[in-house]
Amino acid sequence: MTDQARGAESEIPGKPTSASRTTLSHIMTHNDTNLLGTVHGGVIMKLVDDAAGAVAGRHSGGPAVTASMDEMVFLEPVRVGDLVHVKAQVNWTGRTSMEVGVRVLAERWNESTPAQQVGSAYLVFAAVDGDGKPRSVPPVVTETERDERRYQEAQIRRQHRLARRRAIKELRERRAADGIED
């Protein structure tokens, strides 16, 4: 679907991916470690959620809350002294929700070696008003072929989320109809 067609589906003008893209950087310290002496995955996940939340709020023009985290992949351990960069952007938008893609990179704080990817995640955010009710979001306008690929992949992930939700609901209904309590 073209960017113009996406914008035509909504009364709100579209926003380009670059309008809300952000990078959050943080030096990892001993306070961030787990029992193995590497950075705790939960610390990385919080940085991911923080960066994704900033992007979702920027794109939607107001508050947005985390609805789900589809996937968090840890590729390499992060160590004390690493400078972690969390890069996030809106990949896809629905009527009130957005998928934000996040890449996590790490580099030694005192070396001039290139940062390497150590993780990635996909989160879904819902835009909310002051009462916590869903509100409309601008369509995302892709700017590059990479953005377009991310948009298309996000649509596939959304279809999978919806199919999984339907299948689980149907299973629970069948089990309840059979008198099986969970």
The encoded tokens of residue 36 equal: 């193995």
Range of the domain at 122: 15-178
pLDDT tens by residue, the chain, 182 residues = 444 444 445 688 999 999 999 999 999 999 999 999 999 999 999 999 999 999 999 999 999 999 999 889 999 999 999 999 999 999 999 999 999 999 999 999 888 889 999 999 999 999 999 999 999 999 999 999 999 999 999 999 999 999 999 999 999 999 999 999 87
Which residue is listed with tokens 């943080």? Answer: 26
Task: Answer whether 58's CB lies under 8 Å from 22's CB.
Answer: yes
- Report the CATH number that the domain containing residue 26 is assigned in CATH: 3.10.129.10
Does any domain span residue 3? no
Q: What's the pLDDT score for residue 182?
A: 73
Task: Answer whether 162's CB lies under 8 Å from 154's CB.
Answer: no
Does any domain span residue 4? no
Rg (CA), the chain: 19
